[in-house]
Amino acid sequence: MDRRRFLASAASASLTLALLPKLLRAQEAGGPALARQTLSEAERILGLEFTDAERDLMLQDVAEARAGLGRLRAVGLANDVPPALGFRPLAGGEVPPPQEPRTRPSRVAARPAPADLEELALLSVPELAAMLRARRVSSVELTRMYLARLERLDPALHCVVALLPERALALARRADEELARGRPRSPLHGVPWGVKDLLAVGGARTTWGSRAHREQAFAADAAVVERLDAAGAVLVAKLSCGSLAWGDVWFGGHTRNPWKLDQGSSGSSAGSAAAVAAGLVGFAIGTETWGSIVSPGTRCGATGLRPTFGRVSRRGCMALAWSLDKIGPLARGVEDCALVLDRIHGADPGDPDSVDLPYAFDARRDVRRLRVGYDATAFAQEREEARFDESVLAVLRDLGSEPRPVELPDLPAEDMMLALSAEAAAAFDEFTRSGRDDELDRQTRGSWPNVFRAARLLPAVEYVTSARLRTVALRALARLFRDHDVIVSPTFGGQTLALTNLTGHPAVVVPSGFRDDGTPVSITFWGGLYGEDRVLSLAKAYQDATGWHRKAPPLFGPGANPPATAAFLPDSLLD
Backbone φ, ψ for residue 524 (5° rounding): -115, 130
Pick the closest to residue 508 from 341, 382, 387, 351 (CA basis). Answer: 341
Compute the distance between CA of residue 140 and CA of residue 190 in angstroms, rounded to an integer.
Answer: 8
- The sign of the CA dihedral 494, 495, 498, 504 is negative
For all residues of the chain together, what is the average pLDDT? 91
Q: What DSSP string describes 237-280?
A: EEE---TTSSSSEETTEEPEETTEEEEE--SSSHHHHHHHHTTS
Residue ranges of alpha helices (H) inside 112-209 are 125-133, 139-157, 165-180
- The sign of the CA dihedral 237, 243, 246, 252 is negative
Percentage of the chain lying above the pLDDT 70 cut? 92
3-state SS of 397-414 is HHCCCCCEEECCCCCCHH
Which residues, in sequence order, are CB contacts of 249 under 8 Å at separation 6+? 242, 243, 255, 264, 267, 441, 442, 568, 574
Pick the closest to residue 49 from 36, 62, 65, 64 (CA basis). Answer: 36
Which residues, in sequence order, are CB contacts of 65 under 8 Å at separation 6+? 16, 20
3-state SS of 25-62 is HHHHCCCHHHHHHHHHHHHHHHCCCCCHHHHHHHHHHH
**Per-residue pLDDT at 35:** 61
Pick the closest to residue 353 from 325, 374, 378 (CA basis). Answer: 325
**Per-residue pLDDT at 8:** 33
Q: At what angle do helices 32-46 and 15-28 cross, to 10 degrees?
A: 170
Between 329 and 13, residue with greater pLDDT: 329
- Please state the domain extents for the chain: 89-99+121-413+461-573
For residue 157, the tally of other CB atoms under 10 A from its CB is: 31
Reported pTM: 0.92
CB 486 within 8 A of CB 538: yes
Q: pLDDT tens for residues 327-380?
A: 999 999 999 999 999 999 999 999 999 999 999 999 999 999 999 999 999 999
State the average pLDDT over residues 237-259.
Answer: 97
CA distances from 127 to 110, 195, 535 (A): 7, 21, 22
For residue 477, the tally of other CB atoms under 10 A from its CB is: 26
CB 329 within 8 A of CB 314: no
**Per-residue pLDDT at 476:** 97
CB 420 within 8 A of CB 321: yes
User: Parallel, antiparallel, or unpaired: how do β-strands 192-196 and 234-239 relate?
Assistant: parallel
Q: pLDDT tens for residues 158-193?
A: 999 999 999 999 999 999 999 999 999 999 999 999
Q: pLDDT tens for residues 38-89?
A: 767 777 877 888 888 887 887 677 667 778 778 888 898 999 999 988 899 9
To the nearest 10°, report the CA torsion of 386, 392, 394, 395.
Answer: 160
For residue 217, the tally of other CB atoms under 10 A from its CB is: 13
Q: pLDDT tens for residues 384-415?
A: 899 999 999 999 999 999 999 999 999 999 99
pLDDT grade for 493, boundaries at 50, 70 and 90: very high
Which residues, in sequence order, are CB contacts of 11 under 8 Å at separation 6+? 45
Compute the distance between CA of residue 491 and CA of residue 288 in angstroms, rounded to an integer.
Answer: 14
H-run or E-run covering 513 = strand 507-514
**Per-residue pLDDT at 49:** 86
Which residues, in sequence order, are CB contacts of 531 under 8 Å at separation 6+? 96, 97, 308, 481, 485, 486, 506
pLDDT grade for 456, boundaries at 50, 70 and 90: confident
CB 264 within 8 A of CB 573: yes
**Residue 109 identity (one-letter amino acid):** A
State the average pLDDT over residues 2-14.
Answer: 37
> Would you say residue 12 has pLDDT above 60?
no
Pick the closest to residue 438 from 427, 450, 426 (CA basis). Answer: 450
Neighbouring C-alpha atoms within 13 Å toward the C-beta of 303: 31
Percentage of the chain lying above the pLDDT 90 cut? 80
Catalytic residues: 196, 268, 292
* Three-class secondary structure of residue 12 per DSSP: helix
> For the chain, what percentages of helix, strand and coil (3-state, to nearest 5) are there?
45, 15, 45
CB 506 within 8 A of CB 485: no
Compute the distance between CA of residue 335 and CA of residue 342 in angstroms, rounded to an integer.
Answer: 10
**Per-residue pLDDT at 574:** 55
> Would you say residue 128 has pLDDT above 90?
yes
- Compute the radius of gyration of the chain from its Cα atoms: 24
CB 194 within 8 A of CB 281: yes
H-run or E-run covering 534 = helix 532-546
Residues in the chain: 575
- β-sheet bridge partners, residue 373: 404, 487
Lowest mean pLDDT of 4-8, 40-44, 238-242, 269-273, name the range: 4-8
The terminus-to-terminus CA distance of the chain in angstroms comes to 12
Backbone φ, ψ for residue 109 (5° rounding): -80, 140
Q: pLDDT tens for residues 189-220?
A: 999 999 999 999 999 999 999 999 999 999 99
**Per-residue pLDDT at 225:** 98
State the average pLDDT over residues 438-457.
Answer: 87
pLDDT grade for 558, boundaries at 50, 70 and 90: very high
Pick the CATH number of 89-99+121-413+461-573 from 1.10.150.80, 3.40.50.2000, 3.30.43.10, 3.90.1300.10: 3.90.1300.10
H-run or E-run covering 161 = strand 160-163
Compute the distance between CA of residue 493 and CA of residue 524 in angstroms, rounded to an integer.
Answer: 10
Indicate the DSSP class of residue 11: G
